[in-house]
């Protein structure tokens, strides 16, 4: 990647600096008449650097780190991109003017080291700022705070690939024993376990071969030759799993994996873009939505318990007519009932069968009759109330379950804000202090997902209830509307522009409606009708509609099939 970036960006001018995520910097550069977007991510899970075609939503107010980077780097020139000592450290050498117009050399270091990942701007050996501050309490070895001297990570006792001569390798490996892949991983910097096994396969014919000391000189010669020609080995490969989902990125074809699962990519950046983009966004959104997801699950569990009690009350209330009949029979037969009896059997003139009626010995027969009439009235009132409460609980459950499904489709903060807004409008969630302070006009509307069918027909997919409503109500009458049957899910619109949707387009939309629903990954029935037959009843929650003239299709889809549908940014 350092070679690729150095080749494409040497001499590039830094036009803009953005910080779409708290641990990610996005440099917008121009070089030789072309625009580039360079991701520098210090994410603990997805630290990386590469050029990207992806779009990012920037916060309305730029973070302080971003403002500082803009001050020092905007208008600067990127002179070189280098990897340091074969380690996971990338150095960007930049020259830029200060506020007085004096040129200064800057060093921007990206350390891609898991939870220790960081992005640090240095001038004259001192840290200007780091995207992740590290105090002495956090690390006694290296701190990352403005004004401190910048110290590189401790050097590993390994050979950098560019320094790996046959003599150096022989000195390092001589006397070693065990599996060659592990010896290589412990001796050459920058080797993952997968890369070490690939090297072992290429050098010895097996992925986990034991070291043969007699053939060590020959192994070192082959290894040095391989590492020297590595920059010329192309193209980069995107490894896909059996389900078609990107699983890894290789610098060239790996013999240790089936070639049919490796897709040649034009650049390493393109491969990393395909591998990381969706994965990184999902991971970040899961972190941001974790508290909301927990809240939704707690509300759903509480409402399910409430619904069970309400249904039990309704079942009990079904005996109300029995209480009325008992009261009437007692009133009609007061003269036959001896005082102090604890039970009496009377002929039920409604069905002609004898009916056994329990009595309270503390009360007279007439008082027992009145007690049954009161129980009848109470049971009727309870049934009426329980019925009303049941409808309210079912409505809340519908909104909550829809919101829980919508969380899986969220891509931006605006998408999350839409879900919270629906919950607030239904009285299921209170606004946070930050949301109460936020000005309505400063909130951006979220946008639905957009895809292109094989014939180019645009298809829109709502990501939450508000988007579903805006999307459906804003569509043309001749557009095709789809929704998973009897379950929470996205509204899907095929924008036909007056034409009839082809079978391929309909199948594409059916897959999307199935995947973006509660039934994701299972066999899902999907309703399909024209938009003109979809209505929104007044007073119903956001996204709730009724429809007629529908056809029903049954479909099962995998994530790999969804990834093959072209997304429109």
Domain ranges of the chain: 2-130, 161-283, 295-403, 449-567
Class of domain 295-403: mainly alpha
The whole-number pLDDT of residue 436 equals 61
Region 279-306: mean pLDDT is 88
Indicate if the pLDDT at residue 351 is higher than 90.
no
- Mean pLDDT for the chain? 90
The whole-number pLDDT of residue 437 equals 61
CB 361 within 8 A of CB 341: yes
- pLDDT confidence tier of residue 100, bands split at 50, 70 and 90: confident
CB 90 within 8 A of CB 83: yes
Cα–Cα–Cα angle for 357, 363, 366, rounded to 5 degrees: 70
Indicate if the pLDDT at residue 443 is higher than 60.
no
Region 172-186: mean pLDDT is 91
Region 163-175: mean pLDDT is 91
Indicate if the pLDDT at residue 317 is higher than 80.
no
Q: Closest by alpha carbon to 146, among 120, 176, 168? A: 120
**pLDDT tens digits for 535-548?**
999 988 889 999 99
Indicate if the pLDDT at residue 433 is higher than 70.
no
The whole-number pLDDT of residue 44 equals 92
Cα–Cα–Cα angle for 428, 429, 432, rounded to 5 degrees: 170
The whole-number pLDDT of residue 32 equals 93
Using CB atoms within 10 A of its CB, is residue 403 exposed (0-12), middle (13-18) or buried (19+)? buried
> What is the C-alpha to C-alpha distance for residues 526 and 514, in angstroms, rounded to an integer?
7
Using CB atoms within 10 A of its CB, is residue 32 exposed (0-12), middle (13-18) or buried (19+)? exposed
**pLDDT tens digits for 33-48?**
999 999 999 999 899 9
The fold adopted by the segment(s) 2-130 is: ibrinogen binding protein from staphylococcus aureus fold (2.30.310)
**Looking at the DSSP assignment, which residues form a beta bridge with residue 179?**
210
The whole-number pLDDT of residue 313 equals 79
**pLDDT tens digits for 459-504?**
999 999 999 999 999 999 999 999 999 999 999 999 998 899 999 9
Nearest-10 crossing angle of helices 180-187, 166-173? 110
**pLDDT tens digits for 212-222?**
988 999 999 99
Indicate if the pLDDT at residue 507 is higher than 90.
yes
Indicate if the pLDDT at residue 319 is higher than 80.
no
**pLDDT tens digits for 54-83?**
888 888 889 999 999 999 999 999 999 999
Question: Checking DSSP bridges between strand 343-348 and strand 262-264, what pairing results, if any?
Answer: unpaired
């Amino acid at each position: 990647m350092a070679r690729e970036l150095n080749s494409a960006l040497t001499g590039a001018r830094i036009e803009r600096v953005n910080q779409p995520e708290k641990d990610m910097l996005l440099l917008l550069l121009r070089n030789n008449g072309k625009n580039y977007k360079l991701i520098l991510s210090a994410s603990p899970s997805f630290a990386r650097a590469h050029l990207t075609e992806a779009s990012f939503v920037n916060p309305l107010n730029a973070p302080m780190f971003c403002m500082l980077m803009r001050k020092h780097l905007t208008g600067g020139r990127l002179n070189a991109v280098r990897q340091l000592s074969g380690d996971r450290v990338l150095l960007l050498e930049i020259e830029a003017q200060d506020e007085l117009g004096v040129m200064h050399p800057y060093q921007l270091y990206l350390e891609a080291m898991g939870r220790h990942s960081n992005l640090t701007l240095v001038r004259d050996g001192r840290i200007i700022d780091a995207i992740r501050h590290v105090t002495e309490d956090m690390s006694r070895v290296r701190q990352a705070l403005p004004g401190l001297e910048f110290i590189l990570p401790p050097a590993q006792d390994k050979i950098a690939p560019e320094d790996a001569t046959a003599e150096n390798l022989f000195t390092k490996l001589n006397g070693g024993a065990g599996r060659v892949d592990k010896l290589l991983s412990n001796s050459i910097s920058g080797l993952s376990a997968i890369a070490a096994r690939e090297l072992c396969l290429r050098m010895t014919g097996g992925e986990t071969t034991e070291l043969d000391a007699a053939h060590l000189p020959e192994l070192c010669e082959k290894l040095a030759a391989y590492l020297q020609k590595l920059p010329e080995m192309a193209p980069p490969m995107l490894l896909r799993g059996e389900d078609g989902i990107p699983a890894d990125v290789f610098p060239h074809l790996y013999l240790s994996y089936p070639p049919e699962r490796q897709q040649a990519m034009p650049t390493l950046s393109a491969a990393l873009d395909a591998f990381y983009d969706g994965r990184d966004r999902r991971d970040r959104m899961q972190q941001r939505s974790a508290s909301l997801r927990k809240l939704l699950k707690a509300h759903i569990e509480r409402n399910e318990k409430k619904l069970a009690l309400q249904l039990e009350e309704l079942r009990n209330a079904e005996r109300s007519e029995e209480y009325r009949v008992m009261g009437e029979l007692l009133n009609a037969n007061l003269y036959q009932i001896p005082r102090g009896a604890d039970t009496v059997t009377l002929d039920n003139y409604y069905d002609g069968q004898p009916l056994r009626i329990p009595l309270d010995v503390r009360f007279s027969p007439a008082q027992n009759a009145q007690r049954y009439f009161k129980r009848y009235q109470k049971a009727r009132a309870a049934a009426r109330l329980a019925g009303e409460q049941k409808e309210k609980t079912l409505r809340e459950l519908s909104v909550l379950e829809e919101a829980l499904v919508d969380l899986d489709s969220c891509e931006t903060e605006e998408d999350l804000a839409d879900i919270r807004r629906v919950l607030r409008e239904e009285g299921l969630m209170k606004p946070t202090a930050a949301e109460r302070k936020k000005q309505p006009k400063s909130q951006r509307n979220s946008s639905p997902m957009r895809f292109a069918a094989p014939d180019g027909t645009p298809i829109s997919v709502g990501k939450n209830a508000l988007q579903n409503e805006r999307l459906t109500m804003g569509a043309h009458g001749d557009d095709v509307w789809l929704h998973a049957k009897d379950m929470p899910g996205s509204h899907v619109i095929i924008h036909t522009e007056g034409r009839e949707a082809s079978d391929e387009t309909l199948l594409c939309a059916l897959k999307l409606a199935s995947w973006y629903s509660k039934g994701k990954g299972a066999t899902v029935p999907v309703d399909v009708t024209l938009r003109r037959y979809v209505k929104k009843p007044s007073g119903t929650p956001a996204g709730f509609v009724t429809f007629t003239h529908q056809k029903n299709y049954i479909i099962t889809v995998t994530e790999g099939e969804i990834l093959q549908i072209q997304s429109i940014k």
